Structures are given as structure tokens and as C-alpha cells.
Structure 1
């Protein structure tokens, strides 16, 4: 991090500053709602180019719920997965930026290929419906300058783009970690860590800016994930089961918290949006003790950090004949919590149960004691619940990546997890679908929007993974002011 980390843009916003750089979570929630959603789609076979697609989500539009933009990658075999903006509200935490009309903007989307280790940068201007390829960062640059491969998740930070990677250079097993990229040139600068301590496995990274703390989670190395879950490694408790806490300014490891070896695959991190808070949630895919999934809360305890389980979601008994081979010996469907998302006002937590085909909503106004407030079923390994707009069509896959609008009223879910894992748990195929779900952020409850359910041929046979919303969403930004 630069020496200017910790300074802020005080006073009124700069003239001409990108209006989607919100000074606070409340300002973000009150801003105009999104009219477009960007969705990455990939070809499992790697024979066709992956694509950045654009979905019309303006409820007053004649095109509402349809794909209105399509930008094919120039390469094949990338497997687009997570992606994100080059800059966001966290830019207000660092005084070195030019925030004038020609300066830093939320304009470019970076699309890492989790299999190819290439990163494609797309410009959403001047026509947000027609993103244009701006730059490609090849795997060699990522390996040479940062020592990493298999880029997974990125977050726009105060003075750079933080890109978490699962593997070492050229696909080596590890350690995984964070590559730091320039906000505007997209050059790979270096590995972010200066002292990684015991950290080896990587997955997500996010922070508490005002506490100078970064948190990372753990999945597995490339060989542990690229061909599906390895049963021997899962039952041997070899996947990630710890959180790591770091000095954000110095890139120095400070503390690890082991959740217990049975709690396998500690994935999505969702810190509070309140910049002065010191808590957040992380999802755990599966327990080897009983196939349950769980959500844990981290919080500061004096000078240390504690992590406590606050939600347990049990497996559901099932006839082995209805299960894929990997699950038949267990006679049950694990929830497989693969994503979580926290509303911008820190009041509602959304939990994707990809295995059982359920999106759960929890009231987390008291983050230590979540209370279930809503639920909707879509797909599932056994249940295969249909969408209300097509009740005669059983769905495969399940709610996987979940994104929440800034005002907390709209939730978007997609159904593909990761190509090899899709095939393992849904061996008949997962298809391709995206669902929009409405809620009242004050009282909770989930309702499917029957007008917004693009699926099948709408995505030209490609599988869809993550959604980013125009102007930012619940998992795009870090806010600097209360």
C-alpha cells in the first residue's frame, strides 16, 4: 500500500467526480437504482468464447429481463468466474487519485479467467450496453510480476485492485495469495503480501478500511478444485478451514483463526458496510461431521479477532438413487453454501444453498443472532424446484452467486458454481438461468419476479456465474464515511 493510505478526500465531492463513488452506505442506498446488470457466461467445453453479457433490469423498459448486450472474449478456455469494477467508493479513502471528470471512474470491468489465468478488461463506456475490450493481461505477466495464477476474486481498493489467486506461478500449487493491480493502467504491480506467515491456501479477501485490517479465506490449490471435489481430500479435511487477519497497510500477516478441520472450504467474506464496524460474515461449504453448512461471524475481541458459528443449515435426507454418485454413500443432500451476501444497510444476509436449491434470507440486525426471514426454492440436486414463471420446467443447478441491489430490494441469483463441480453434483447438466427476487428490506420475505428469468437459449447455451450491477451493488464497494 502507498504511504498515503489512511488519508481521505474530505469535504464535498470533487467537481465532475463519478457519481457512483458514494461517501456512505446510506448515500449508496439512496442513489438511482440500477438499470443494467452485467453477467459473465462461460462455455464449459472451452470450445466457444466466454462472454460478458448485459441484462436489462429496468422494470419500465420494454426489454426488461432480456439480454441486451453481448461481448465475446477473443480467446477460448478462460472459464469466467468472479469479476468486478476497477474502482469504487473506496477511492475516497486515498487522497492520491484524480477524481475530476477525466480521472478515476467506475468504468472498467476486469474479467479473470480462472482456468486460463488471463484477465480481460472491458470498457463500459460510452455505451454501457456494448462493453468493449480494452486490454488483456496474460498469464505470464501475472506469474512474473506477482507470482500467482488462477485468479479468482477481485475488489477495488483505495489505491489498487486486489486480485486473489488460488495458485502459484504458471499453475503451481501455491501458495495462493493477492496480486495488486494498478487502478487505471491495469498493470500487475506485485504480490500484495510482504509477510504471509502460515497462510498457504487462498480464496477471498476483503477489509475493514478504518481498522487497517484485511481478512482472507481459504478454498484449495488448483489440483484440489479443477477436476471437482476430491473425496479423499474432503474426508481427510485438507481443504481450507481458517481465516487470516492482516495489516492492510503493510501486507503483513497478523493472526489465523482455525474454524475446525471438519469445517471445509471457508469461502465468501462479507464485512459490515459500516466503516467503523469490526465484524463480518463468512460462509462454510460443508462439515465432514454431518454434511451441514454454516455461516460464521468474525469480530474484534480486544486486540484479537474471534470467529463464532452463528448459522447452521443441516443436510436433507434423500433416496440414494436420486443422488449423484459422489453423494450416494451418504443418503443426504448437503446444502453446499457456495455464496453469501450482506445488504448495504447490514440488515439482511442472503445465503445460497446450491445443493438443496434454496436461497435463505436472515435478519442480521443483531449480527450475533441471525433470524431467518425468508426463503425461496429454485432447482436443487433432488428437489429441482421450478420457477413460478415456468412451473412445468424442473430446474437444475441452484441459487449460487447472489447479488443484492444497493437499496436492498432486489436480489439476483445465478445457478452455475464451477464447471467441474457443476458436472459432479449435477451430472445431467445444470442448464443456465438467472432469477431476480424481490424483497421488502424492512420486513423480509422473498418473491420471484416472473418477468425476469432469462434462461436456456437466452445465454446462447453458456453457463452463467456472477452478476455485477450498474453503479455498484452490495458486494462491490467499501464505504469510507458514516
Structure 2
């Protein structure tokens, strides 16, 4: 039984969390609801880069995206990460937006990057080299801000197998705890929370023993298809659902109180809807077929559209999800070969795109960063914004995740 005073504290905590959730219109999407939002035009675009042949150090580039700047559309800074072969992949802001947590899927190394001292020139504040030893996990994937701490998902155990899991750290890098997944859902990938509902959902991929091999050699039976529903406050799994093979990104509806969201199933070429039932349980069901290998999933700030990057189909799709059970394809665009990561701006009018998924999955060596404009008539590629990532002094680089500041 919950006593009155702890229950009151918990309700007040939920109310405080709700105040931190951005309004539906005019806010960056697909960040943790606890991250301080950028409510102005972006000035800098950070791109997490893998040295393409793994012979030189990985790095972060800063691209000037301030339209009033004389260096608009150019790379103005490069941050050497000090090591190579990391397979730098995803990252995320801390709740106060002063740091970016970033990691390598092959090395399990994590960098804490200061973006507050000089936003144009990020610097490394700390490197965590012993994450598998601390957590018993490998392949850090999603870096999700909670108040004063970071929640990380991992793709596998310390040896690169299963089970996957989650772990929490303080914003400055102190390990707090490991969170185990249920035995019947050992695969991990992404995570997202809905604070006002006290719910969290995580998704599935495959561990290092599989994603570290070329795609032709990967075992398709070594991918997960589960979505796990968690009690957010207790970090306790309460239900396991089945979706299509390799459900990747988790995107809750941005409308406060709405008890549903979406995931893109990469090896099922589909969108799945997960939604709460009246009895407190959840269901997951397929609601759309996409082009080949939907790799990333983003939302418009008004919650009307989903954007799906179809890495295998060489296109980005815009889906109207006003009726979440019946998505309607409204626009497609081809910004580059094998488009992957997207970042939608706070006003929903611009989308930045990179085109590397994994060094073991990329089929092109033409790496770039493109800009897509979003308007009432759909998506259009900006013909003048084309950042070539193949001409660094160290050779080509694979651009993956992005953040704006």
C-alpha cells in the first residue's frame, strides 16, 4: 500500500515532470522530454563521424547553420575524439543541454562533451573507458536524459552477447545502477519515456556478436522483435509485446496524455503502433508498410507527421498520422543514397539528413549531410546545402547522429 505522503510526493513529481514537457507546437522533437529545448533558429549542427576506413581517429564536426553567418553551410570546427575504430553512433544532450553524451558501438567507449563553454567548438570533458566493466554491458546506443542523470540503453552484455540492458549515470559520468531486462526480452536498442503516464518503452536490435559482422554474414534469427513496457518510476518491466523484426526507434505521441506511439521495424519494412488499452495493458500492431529498411523515425512538432528514412529504399517518407491507426503517405524525397539519421528543427520546417547506418551495413562511400525543407506541399531537398564528408585530410567519414545548438 502507498501511504499518503509518498503518494503525494510522487504526484507532485509527475506534475513537475509535466511542466518540463515542451508544448506540442514549436519544439524540437525526438529528444527526452527533460532536455531544455532550443526555441530559436539553430546556429550549429553537430555531426558524429566515424573514420570510414577506421585507420584514423573518429571525430565530431560543427557545421555553421546560422543563415546570417558568412560561413553558413561550412564545417567550422573538428573535435578529434582521440581514438579510432569506435563505430561512433548515437548521442544525446544532458537535461540542462550543457553536455552531449556520445559513444562507440564497437569500443563501448563514451565521451562526455562540453557544448556550453564554446558551442561552436565542443571539447571533451571526460572519457569513460571502463563502461563494460562497470555495467556488465556493451554497445551503448541511446543516451536519454533524466533529471540530473543519463539513462543509457546497451545492445548486449559485456562480452558482446545477450542479454542487453540499461544503465544510469550522473550527468558528469558516475555510474549509478544497472537495469536488467526481462528474461523473455533479452534484446535492446532504444528507449523513450512518457512521464505523465509513468511509462517507458524500449525496443530491440541485435548484439555486437551480430552487428559487428557484414550484413551478408549476420544471423537474421539473432535480432529481437520485442517492445518492453516499463514502470518509469520503478524502472520495472511490466509487459513484453511483439512487433516486426528489429523495432528500432521509440516515439511517443507528443500530445500530453496520449497513450500511444510508434516504432519503425527495420527488417520488417513497417511501422508499428503501440497503444494503451483501457485495462492498463498495451498492444502493438502493424499500421503501415514502408520502403526497404526503415532506419530512423522522427516526428513533426505538431504530432501530425512521422518521417521515415528508408536506408534500403534511398528515400525519406512523410506519413500523416492524424489517425494513428491509419497512417497516410503524403510525401517522399530522395536527399542522397541510403539516407539514415534525421533531425527535425523546433519549427518543423527543416530536416538535416546523414547517410551512414553502420560500417557493416553501408553500401555507398558517398557520405554527406543534406538539408530538406518541409512545407505545406511536402519535403524538398535544398540544392545548395550539401556537406561532402569524403574530403577530410584523413579521407572519407561516415556521418551518423546529429544535434543542433
| TM-score, length-scaled by structure 1 | 0.75
Distance 1:8 1:212, change over 3 A: closer
Is the aligned partner of 1:248 residue 2:232? yes
1: CA distance between counterparts of 2:108 and 2:59? 16
Q: 2:343 aligns with which of 403, 406, 415?
A: 403
Q: Cα–Cα, structure 1 residues 40 and 73, in superposed 2: closer, same or farther, change >3 Å?
A: same
Partner of residue 313, structure 2: 356
Distance 2:354 2:392 in 1: 12
* Aligned position for 1:65: 73
1:86-101 counterparts in 2 under 5 A?
A: 86-87=94-95
Matched, 1:285 2:266: yes
Q: Which residue of 1 is the match for residue 241 of structure 2?
A: 257
> Secondary structure of the residue that 1:223 maps to in structure 2?
helix
Q: Is the 8 A contact 2:153 2:190 kept in 1?
A: yes
CA contact (8 A) 1:175 1:201 kept: yes
Distance 1:62 1:298 in 2: 46
2:398 aligns to what? 463
* Residues 123-155 of structure 1, C-alpha deviations (whole Å, 9 max, x = no match): 0122111111100111x2x22332211111111
RMSD value, Cα: 2.2
1:324-366 C-alpha deviation (Å, 9 max, x unpaired): xxxxxxxxxxx11111111222111101111121011111122
Unaligned runs of 5+ in 2: 1-5, 29-37
What is the aligned partner in structure 1 of residue 367 from structure 2? 432
Aligned to 2:33: none
**Contact persistence 1:148–1:165 (CA under 8 A):** yes
Q: Which residue of 1 aligns with 2:3?
A: none
- Indicate conservation of the 8 Å contact 1:196/1:252, yes or no: no
Match of 1:454 in 2: 387
CA apart distance, 1:431:
2.2
Q: Which residue of 1 aligns with 2:144?
A: 155
Shift of 1:253: 1.3
In the alignment, is residue 107 of structure 1 matched against residue 95 of structure 2? no
Partners of 2:355 and 2:400 within 8 A in 1: yes
Cα offset, 1:221, TM superposition = 1.6
CA distance in 1, matches of 2:392, 2:261: 34
Distance in 1 (alpha carbons) for counterparts of 2:10 and 2:42: 30
Which SS does the other structure have where 2:196 is aligned? Answer: helix
* 1:174 aligned residue (137, 156, 162): 162
**Residues 231 and 412 (structure 1 numbering): CA distance in 2 closer, same or farther, change over 3 Å?**
same
TM superposition shift of 1:274:
2.2
The answer to whether the 8 Å contact 1:432/1:459 transfers is no
Q: 2:257 aligns with which of 272, 276, 299?
A: 276
The alignment partner of 2:361 has SS state of helix
* Distance (whole Å) between structure 1 residues aligned to residue 106 and residue 217 of structure 2: 21
Q: CA deviation at 1:197?
A: 4.2
Question: 1:22 deviation in Å?
Answer: 6.5
CA contact (8 A) 2:92 2:100 kept: yes
Any residues of structure 2 matched to 1:408-423 within 5 Å, and which? 408-422=348-362
Distance in 1 (alpha carbons) for counterparts of 2:140 and 2:351: 26
Q: CA deviation at 1:233?
A: 2.5
Task: Indicate conservation of the 8 Å contact 1:344/1:408, yes or no.
Answer: yes
1 CA distance for matches of 2:98 and 2:24? 20
The equivalent residue for 2:287 is 310
Residues 457/231 of structure 1: CA separation in 2 closer, same or farther (3 Å cut): closer
1:207 positional shift: 1.4
Change (3 A) 1:9 1:68: farther
- Aligned residues of 2:15 and 2:196 also touching (Cα < 8 A): no
Structure with the largest fraction of strand? 2
Secondary structure of 2:307's match? strand
In structure 2, what is the equivalent of residue 146 of structure 1? 135
Name the counterpart of 2:34.
Answer: none
Instruction: Provide the residue aligned with 2:295 in structure 1.
Output: 338
Q: What corresponds to 2:57 in structure 1?
A: 49
Question: Is structure 2 residue 122 aligned with structure 1 residue 125?
Answer: no
Question: Residue 199 of structure 2 is aligned with which of 213, 216, 231?
Answer: 213
Per the alignment, do residues 129 and 459 of structure 1 end up closer, same or farther by CA in structure 2, a change over 3 Å counting? farther
* 1:229 matched residue in structure 2: 215
Contact 2:248/2:263 (<8 A) preserved: yes
